[in-house]
């Protein structure tokens, strides 16, 4: 082989390849040492691309160490791709030599001893390498404002002598990156891995404060106040809260973040918490290119923070969460990988996403920031198990690379201790604590006793009395239904009000939030899904229509008021009945030990069935295979409960949950109607059962209310199709021509009305073109050496109005529009090096921006013109999908390939676009971000499954000891609700005492707080009901035997014998109320049987009086009523037909149905379904009067659902 290779390469002079030096050459020398080419000069495109493309080292053909090729194991194709990289790198070096000849001269000097690089650079420069005495002044002058003067002087001395301290390649990579540092640039990971001296040199030059007063770089870049002013336009840090020495706590936290120290900061809501991690993140990004990852629990909170940074003209922030469209998500991940993002806010579940993990793996991490860090603590009011996985992820994937920063506004002493222990034990990281308390001096708190029926009118009165025209308000509600009702009533009173809760579509939530933040809505009625996501400065009033579940939640939500520091009011409308609602909501979200046992048994069975320890399964697939759990598979929180249970099982070593295994089939519809789809399925040679499944999938796609993804879980539940069948079916539907495996894009357009999409794009194009020309006229030399120019947006608007000949009829041109246009220019267009942004923006306050050009004016004009042209072709093709005559808002679905074809068919576009698919994505995002149109999620069939690694030991059981920690957490939540109730009662009587309780809650040790505020009432804190409710249910009986019967354990069968008038029915009512209120049993598990209709009505009334809304789910019926429901018999129907009902036969039919001896059940309704599912608690009033047939009916009820009954 060596002989033939030597013959093949005999005319060669230079060996060219990708990652040659570190990979191919060592292997070749080991296996084929006689190859003559191994002695040739070598050019490694891995090294060359990092030098040629410092603003984007991950070239469009390069990913990490590897080349991007569309074929596997094709050396010939890889060689051609490497040659393409080389040619484009040479082109980039030639361009750099024209614009910055000093840099090529310096590079030539540094690499003069590398024969191949020296030869290449000599040909590019057409000169020999400069002398050492000429290089020193170049480095000193060109990097003076980018590096520490003290250490730069030392480096210049080293370069001028013999490179004693640093090797030339390390200096070349370090200075090459520093030359373009400050955003949109990173060094590839392999450089730091192979040449650690590069990171050390960058740290010495840019990250370490020399402490010398005559060093301008360090005075500016290592001064927190200077950075605060530069980045956020603020003159100083907040004076309060303070450290122990009286200085600003906010400044101390920022200083610790700048020093990359691990910390835990507790700051009150509105206390400037975000800046405490945003400022260090931005500084680290500009100094070293590192990425800060912020873990946040709420999508609205993430979006709000990114929007606020964008308003400050900080472009390097992004969010990754489930609300993004596929195009948006892909764009964000690409920008993370390419170094355009310095701060990414993510939901914790994203750490199980392979694509997200791969993106951040390409970056160095500056810090891991846990926002709302109390979610990590089992003693926190909002403990979330997904947060725990993030810690494990950091330990396993990024050990020791970056500090941890935790932030929260509400943390009791035990939460602080738990957080510190968590990171000390799990990551061996000690958190320095910065405790700023919870007080907000600009907020006033009031508790107003209000009954349920009075609340809407009281809310309207508070809004009318407490708001000026320019003010805003938030009304927090405990339930979605309450939020919708309040929003409707407030709007009917002439106040512009919207509604926000987790049950609304992602698009509607996003739009409602935008309208509120932009001032289109003055008031918003919302559940706590909106709570932490609002940072609107003019919120002057926060109303709680119902009591929250904890004091922490109340302060978090009330803290949305007065964010600008001005006075604001927080009002709690207190109805004691609402406390029971909170207990009920808390209980319905809880898991039982039985749930864990059922899920663990199903997992082990699945592992045994597959014959391996690793299982890939979705939450609802697992539920469908589980027996004995109390989790309803079609409940909205079913998947959340399953993932929570798996987290606890993981904590106890039963399993490990790893990356998610998501599979997506883009399923654009090719046929125009469901009938056409049915005809094609009917013509196929399939059995009737297969045709039925195919039609079920097609029907589900056609009947989607919005063209979003259809999960395999939905198909499993609604059509009985197993997940493994789903993708086979959609592939077959594609073969039948019903679907096409293509990304289906869905956009919202406006046509034929004011603000139409076509008019918006025309206006945007004219404004962008005029703006570029105006900027170029004002600063024609700004593209030289990245010179800067200052833009006063109001002056720019005045000039543009004249150039565009705008008058009042054509609309106003304001700074917001100009700013949006500039932001669009700050985004790149294209791929690879072409993706580099055109300009960089920095806010100077008062509608003034500092603009730094990243490209020459000629390139900016060309790129903007090309982007506008692509956008125009794309929009024209989308508008063609709108039916004739349709005006206003239109939802358009179009296949991605159809849009690419439109670009390819355009003669002008065809010659200018190297990658039409990339251009299309960029154009769509451009149109979306400038609000010409709105992107939506396209149709797809997807399976979002979990990857679970089971422990080999299957003998272990999830016992009471395993369940105990979760039980403790549930008890803590119960205590938190009691504390909130106590605050409300005190606030209504004596506000000063209420504030004292708040202070004690957040400062005193747990036992001391309980002793001070709940002395003699400790037993109350473990009950899931109020003291008043417990007194009515138990103490008011004033009969020891009755009390014992009511409070007995939940298991066992009981027969109560007593004479007439002794209170037997009373015991039943109070026992049911005890189960509902104290034990928090699901009301759907309880049935009470009465002898006649009058007794049933009386029993139901007494139960509602005692247990309120908690009793509404309890079934109270007579024996005949049960039989009527089960058999579908109608007394009214019998009366109309003058026929009689044989009640004994009807009872026997019902018994047969319950015992499974008959299937004659037709048109089952919900109550009949429940009856057949069985009951856990059966109460029989006047038991002595039932006959054998009625007894058989009672006995059959629990057996119908295979439950273990507890008749009373």
CATH of the domain at 306: 3.40.50.300
Instruction: Reply yes or no on whether the pLDDT at 788 is more than 50.
Output: yes
Instruction: Reply yes or no on whether the pLDDT at 1207 is more than 60.
Output: no
For 954-1005, the pLDDT digits (tens) are 899 999 999 998 898 899 899 999 999 999 999 999 999 999 999 999 999 9
Among 127-136, 159-168, 216-225, which range has the highest average pLDDT? 216-225
Task: Report the pLDDT value the prediction gives residue 454, as an integer from 0 to 100.
Answer: 92
Q: Within a domain: residue 70?
A: no
Share the mean pLDDT of the chain: 86
Residue 842 three-state SS: strand
**pLDDT greater at residue 504 or residue 445:** 445
Instruction: Reply yes or no on whether the pLDDT at 757 is more than 90.
Output: yes
Q: Give ∠ CA 260-264-265 in degrees, rounded to 5.
A: 105
- In this structure, what are the phi and psi dihedrals at residue 1105, rounded to the nearest 5 degrees? -65, -40
Task: Report the pLDDT value the prediction gives residue 672, as an integer from 0 to 100.
Answer: 75
Task: Report the pLDDT value the prediction gives residue 1169, as an integer from 0 to 100.
Answer: 57
Cβ pair 164, 137 in contact under 8 A: no
Under 8 Å CB-to-CB from 643, ≥6 apart: which residues? 385, 386, 619, 946
Cβ pair 303, 536 in contact under 8 A: no
Instruction: Reply yes or no on whether the pLDDT at 1200 is more than 60.
Output: no
Separation CA 1159–CA 1149 (nearest Å): 10
| Residues 273, 314 within the same domain | yes
Q: Which is it for the CA torsion 791, 794, 795, 798, positive or negative?
A: positive
Task: Report the pLDDT value the prediction gives residue 852, as an integer from 0 to 100.
Answer: 83
Instruction: Reply yes or no on whether the pLDDT at 1059 is more than 80.
Output: no
Nearest Cα neighbor of 361 from 154, 26, 65 is 65
For 66-100, the pLDDT digits (tens) are 554 444 567 787 888 888 889 989 998 998 899 88
For 226-243, the pLDDT digits (tens) are 999 988 888 999 988 999
| Residues 730, 847 within the same domain | no
Task: Report the pLDDT value the prediction gives residue 1199, as an integer from 0 to 100.
Answer: 58
Q: Which residue has the tokens 């309120």?
A: 1108
| Residues 400, 253 within the same domain | yes
Lowest mean pLDDT among 449-458, 662-671, 730-739, 1094-1103: 662-671
Task: Report the pLDDT value the prediction gives residue 379, as an integer from 0 to 100.
Answer: 67
In the predicted model, what is the mean pLDDT of residues 591-603?
93
Instruction: Reply yes or no on whether the pLDDT at 1162 is more than 50.
Output: no
Q: Within a domain: residue 887?
A: yes
Q: Confidence band (pLDDT; 50, 70, 90) for 390?
A: very high
Instruction: Reply yes or no on whether the pLDDT at 1208 is more than 50.
Output: no
| Residues 1050, 1170 within the same domain | yes
The DSSP string of 726-791 is HHHHHHHHHHTTSEEES-EEEEEEEESSTT-HHHHHHHHHHHHHHHHHHHHHH-TTTTTTT-EEEE
| Residues 528, 415 within the same domain | no
Lowest mean pLDDT among 935-949, 1058-1072, 1079-1093: 935-949
Lowest mean pLDDT among 389-393, 591-595, 907-911: 907-911
Q: Within a domain: residue 1036?
A: yes
Q: Confidence band (pLDDT; 50, 70, 90) for 412?
A: confident
In the predicted model, what is the mean pLDDT of residues 561-565?
88
Task: Report the pLDDT value the prediction gives residue 199, as an integer from 0 to 100.
Answer: 92
Q: Within a domain: residue 189?
A: no
Task: Report the pLDDT value the prediction gives residue 1203, as an integer from 0 to 100.
Answer: 42
Q: Confidence band (pLDDT; 50, 70, 90) for 443?
A: very high
Q: At what angle do helices 916-929 and 815-826 cross, to 10 degrees?
A: 160
Separation CA 956–CA 497 (nearest Å): 54
Percent of the chain whose predicted confidence (pLDDT) is above 70: 92
What is the token pair recorded at 1157?
């001896």
Helix (H), strand (E) at residue 668: strand 661-669
**pLDDT greater at residue 376 or residue 741:** 376
Task: Report the pLDDT value the prediction gives residue 1168, as an integer from 0 to 100.
Answer: 54
In the predicted model, what is the mean pLDDT of residues 832-855?
75
Residue finishing a domain among 562, 586, 610:
586
Q: How many domains does the chain have?
A: 5
Instruction: Reply yes or no on whether the pLDDT at 707 is more than 70.
Output: no
In the predicted model, what is the mean pLDDT of residues 593-614?
92
**pLDDT greater at residue 393 or residue 1146:** 393
**pLDDT greater at residue 157 or residue 990:** 990
Cβ pair 557, 544 in contact under 8 A: yes
For 457-516, the pLDDT digits (tens) are 999 999 999 899 999 999 999 889 999 999 999 999 999 999 998 888 777 887 888 899
By CB atoms closer than 10 A (0-12, 13-18, 19+), residue 1204 is exposed
Task: Report the pLDDT value the prediction gives residue 78, as an integer from 0 to 100.
Answer: 80
What is the token pair recorded at 897?
């390939």
Residue 895 three-state SS: strand
Residue 443 three-state SS: strand
Nearest Cα neighbor of 366 from 203, 172, 588 is 203
In the predicted model, what is the mean pLDDT of residues 715-727?
75
Examine residue 1183 and say whether the peptide bond preceding it is cis (omega within 30 degrees of 0): no
Task: Report the pLDDT value the prediction gives residue 93, as an integer from 0 to 100.
Answer: 93
Under 8 Å CB-to-CB from 133, ≥6 apart: which residues? 160
| Residues 1122, 1071 within the same domain | yes
Nearest Cα neighbor of 986 from 971, 974, 996, 976 is 996
Instruction: Reply yes or no on whether the pLDDT at 531 is more than 60.
Output: no
Residue finishing a domain among 925, 958, 991:
958
Task: Report the pLDDT value the prediction gives residue 59, as an integer from 0 to 100.
Answer: 55
> In b/e form, how buried is each residue of 786-812, taking b as 16+ CB within 10 angstroms?
eeeeebebeebbeebeeeeebeeeeee
- Give the distance between the most distant pair of CA atoms in the chain: 117
Cβ pair 157, 137 in contact under 8 A: no
Residue finishing a domain among 958, 992, 1014:
958
Instruction: Reply yes or no on whether the pLDDT at 183 is more than 80.
Output: no
Q: Within a domain: residue 1034?
A: yes
Residue-number span of the structural domain to which 495 is assigned: 447-586
Q: Within a domain: residue 633?
A: yes
Q: Within a domain: residue 1031?
A: yes
Task: Report the pLDDT value the prediction gives residue 1147, as an integer from 0 to 100.
Answer: 86
**pLDDT greater at residue 122 or residue 733:** 122
In the predicted model, what is the mean pLDDT of residues 276-290?
94
Q: Within a domain: residue 39?
A: no
Separation CA 174–CA 139 (nearest Å): 12
Q: Confidence band (pLDDT; 50, 70, 90) for 574?
A: very high
For 908-950, the pLDDT digits (tens) are 887 888 788 888 888 888 898 888 998 876 667 777 889 999 9
> In b/e form, how buried is each residue of 575-593, taking b as 16+ CB within 10 angstroms?
beebbbbbbbebbeebbbe
| Residues 262, 391 within the same domain | yes
In the predicted model, what is the mean pLDDT of residues 863-874?
92
Q: pTM of this prediction?
A: 0.84
Task: Report the pLDDT value the prediction gives residue 1173, as an integer from 0 to 100.
Answer: 61
In the chain, helix, strand, coil percent, each to 5? 55, 15, 30
| Residues 730, 804 within the same domain | no
| Residues 1030, 1139 within the same domain | yes
Task: Report the pLDDT value the prediction gives residue 56, as an integer from 0 to 100.
Answer: 67
For 338-387, the pLDDT digits (tens) are 888 999 999 998 998 888 999 999 899 999 999 989 888 876 656 777 88
| Residues 614, 678 within the same domain | yes
Lowest mean pLDDT among 212-216, 737-741, 1043-1047: 737-741
Instruction: Reply yes or no on whether the pLDDT at 670 is more than 60.
Output: yes
Task: Report the pLDDT value the prediction gives residue 787, as an integer from 0 to 100.
Answer: 65
Under 8 Å CB-to-CB from 246, ≥6 apart: which residues? none
Instruction: Reply yes or no on whether the pLDDT at 1163 is more than 80.
Output: no
| Residues 773, 895 within the same domain | yes
| Residues 790, 879 within the same domain | yes
Q: 10 Å Cβ neighbour count for 760? A: 18
């Amino acid at each position: 082989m060596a002989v033939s290779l030597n013959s093949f390469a005999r005319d060669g002079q230079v060996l060219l390849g990708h990652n040659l030096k570190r990979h191919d050459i060592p292997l070749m020398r080991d296996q084929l040492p006689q190859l003559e080419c191994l002695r040739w000069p070598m050019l490694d495109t891995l090294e060359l691309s990092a030098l040629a493309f410092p603003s984007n080292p991950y070239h469009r053909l390069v990913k990490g160490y590897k080349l991007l090729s569309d074929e596997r194991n094709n050396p010939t194709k890889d060689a051609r791709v490497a040659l393409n990289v080389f040619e484009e790198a040479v082109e980039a070096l030639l361009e750099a030599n024209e614009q910055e000849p000093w840099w090529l001269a310096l590079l030539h000097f540094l690499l003069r001893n590398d024969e191949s690089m020296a030869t290449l650079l000599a040909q590019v420069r057409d000169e020999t390498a400069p002398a050492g005495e000429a290089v020193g002044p170049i480095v000193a002058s060109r990097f003076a404002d980018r590096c520490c003067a003290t250490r730069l002087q030392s480096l210049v001395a080293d370069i001028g002598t013999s490179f004693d301290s640093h090797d030339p390649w390390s200096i070349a990579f370090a200075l090459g990156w520093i030359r373009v540092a400050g955003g949109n640039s990173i060094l590839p990971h392999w450089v730091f891995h192979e040449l650690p001296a590069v990171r050390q040199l960058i740290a010495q030059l840019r990250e370490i404060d020399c402490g010398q007063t005559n060093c301008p770089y360090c005075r500016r870049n290592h001064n927190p106040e200077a950075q605060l002013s530069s980045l956020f336009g603020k003159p100083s840090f907040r004076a309060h809260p303070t450290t122990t020495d009286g200085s600003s706590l906010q400044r101390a936290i920022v200083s610790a973040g700048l020093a990359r120290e691990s910390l835990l900061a507790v700051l009150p809501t509105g206390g400037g918490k975000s800046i405490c991690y945003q400022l260090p993140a931005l500084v680290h990004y500009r100094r070293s290119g590192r990425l800060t990852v912020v873990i946040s629990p709420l999508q609205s909170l993430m979006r709000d923070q990114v929007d606020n940074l964008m308003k400050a003209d900080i472009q390097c922030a992004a969010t990754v969460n489930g609300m993004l469209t596929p195009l948006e998500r892909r764009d964000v991940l690409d920008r993370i990988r390419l170094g355009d993002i310095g701060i990414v806010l993510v939901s914790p579940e994203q750490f199980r996403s392979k694509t997200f993990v791969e993106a951040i793996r390409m970056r160095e991490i500056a810090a891991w920031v846990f926002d709302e860090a109390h979610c990590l603590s089992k003693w926190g009011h909002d403990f979330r198990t997904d947060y725990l996985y993030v810690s494990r992820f950091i330990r396993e994937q990024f050990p020791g690379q970056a500090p941890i920063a935790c932030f929260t506004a509400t943390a009791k002493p035990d939460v602080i201790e738990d957080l510190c222990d968590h990171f000390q034990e799990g990551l061996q990281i000690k958190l320095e604590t910065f405790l700023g308390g919870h007080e907000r001096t600009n907020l006033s708190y009031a508790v107003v006793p209000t009954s349920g029926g009075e609340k809407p009118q009281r809310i309207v009165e508070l809004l009318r009395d407490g708001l000026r025209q320019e003010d805003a308000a938030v009304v927090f509600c405990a339930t979605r239904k309450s939020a919708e009702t309040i929003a409707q009533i407030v709007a009917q009173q002439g106040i512009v009000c919207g509604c926000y809760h987790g049950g609304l579509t992602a698009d509607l939530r996003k739009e409602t939030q935008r309208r509120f933040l932009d001032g289109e809505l003055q008031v918003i009625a919302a559940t706590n899904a909106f709570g932490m996501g609002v940072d609107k400065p003019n919120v002057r009033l926060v109303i709680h229509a119902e009591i929250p579940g904890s004091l922490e939640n109340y302060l978090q939500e009330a803290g949305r008021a007065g964010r600008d520091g001005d006075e604001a009011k927080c009002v709690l409308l207190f109805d004691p009945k609402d406390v029971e609602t909170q207990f009920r909501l808390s209980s319905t979200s809880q898991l039982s030990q039985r749930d864990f046992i059922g899920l663990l048994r199903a997992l082990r069975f699945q592992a045994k069935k597959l014959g391996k320890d690793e299982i890939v399964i979705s939450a609802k697939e697992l539920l469908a295979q589980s027996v004995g759990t109390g989790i309803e598979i079609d409940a909205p929180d079913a998947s959340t409960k399953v993932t929570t249970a798996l987290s606890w099982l993981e904590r106890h070593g039963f399993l490990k949950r790893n990356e998610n295994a998501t599979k997506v089939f883009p399923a654009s519809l090719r046929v125009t109607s469901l009938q056409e789809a049915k005809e094609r399925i009917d013509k196929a040679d399939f059995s009737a059962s297969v045709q039925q499944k195919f039609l079920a999938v097609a029907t589900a796609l056609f009947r989607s209310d919005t063209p979003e993804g259809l999960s395999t879980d939905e198909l499993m539940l609604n059509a009985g199709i197993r997940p493994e069948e789903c993708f086979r079916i959609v592939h077959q539907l594609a073969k039948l021509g019903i679907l096409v495996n293509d990304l289906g894009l869905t956009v919202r357009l406006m046509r034929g009305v004011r603000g139409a999409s076509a008019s918006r794009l025309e206006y945007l194009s004219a404004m962008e073109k005029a703006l570029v020309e105006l900027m170029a006229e004002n600063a024609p030399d700004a593209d030289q050496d990245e010179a800067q120019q200052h833009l006063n947006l109001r002056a720019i608007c005045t000039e543009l109005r004249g150039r565009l000949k705008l008058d009042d009829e054509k609309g106003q041109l304001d700074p917001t529009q100009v700013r949006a246009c500039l932001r669009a220019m700050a985004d790149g267009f294209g791929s690879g090096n072409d993706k580099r942004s055109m300009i960089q923006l920095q806010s100077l306050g008062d509608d003034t921006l500092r603009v730094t050009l990243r490209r020459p004016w000629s390139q900016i004009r060309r790129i903007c013109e090309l982007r506008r042209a692509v956008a125009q072709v794309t929009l024209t093709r989308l508008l063609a999908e709108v039916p004739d005559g349709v005006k206003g808002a239109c939802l358009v679905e179009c296949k991605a390939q159809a849009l690419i074809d439109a670009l390819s068919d355009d003669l002008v576009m065809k010659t200018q676009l190297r990658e039409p698919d990339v251009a299309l994505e960029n154009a769509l995002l451009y149109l979306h971000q400038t609000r010409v149109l709105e992107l939506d999620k396209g149709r797809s069939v997807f399976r979002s499954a979990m990857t679970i690694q089971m422990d080999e030991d299957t003998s272990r059981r999830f016992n009471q000891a395993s369940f105990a920690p979760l039980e403790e957490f549930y008890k803590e939540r119960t205590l938190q609700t009691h504390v909130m109730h106590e605050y409300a009662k005190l606030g209504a009587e004596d506000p000063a005492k209420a504030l004292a309780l708040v202070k004690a809650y957040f400062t005193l040790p747990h036992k001391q707080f309980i002793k001070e505020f709940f002395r003699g009432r400790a037993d109350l804190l473990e009950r899931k009901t109020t003291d008043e409710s417990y007194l009515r249910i138990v103490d008011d009986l004033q009969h020891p035997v009755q009390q014992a019967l009511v409070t007995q354990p939940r298991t066992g069968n009981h027969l109560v014998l007593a004479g007439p008038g002794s209170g037997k029915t009373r015991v039943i009512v109070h026992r049911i109320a005890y189960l509902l209120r104290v034990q928090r049993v699901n009301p759907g598990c309880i049935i009470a049987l009465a002898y006649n209709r009058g007794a049933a009505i009386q029993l139901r009334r007494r139960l509602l009086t005692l247990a309120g809304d908690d009793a509404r789910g309890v079934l109270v019926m007579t024996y005949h009523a049960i039989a009527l429901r089960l058999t579908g018999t109608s007394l009214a129907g019998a009366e109309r037909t003058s026929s009689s009902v044989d009640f004994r036969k009807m009872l026997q039919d019902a018994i047969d149905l319950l015992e499974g001896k008959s299937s004659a059940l037709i048109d089952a309704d919900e109550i009949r379904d429940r009856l057949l599912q069985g009951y856990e608690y059966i109460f029989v009033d006047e038991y002595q009067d039932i006959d054998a047939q009625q007894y058989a009916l009672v006995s059959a009820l629990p057996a119908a659902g295979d439950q273990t009954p507890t008749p009373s």
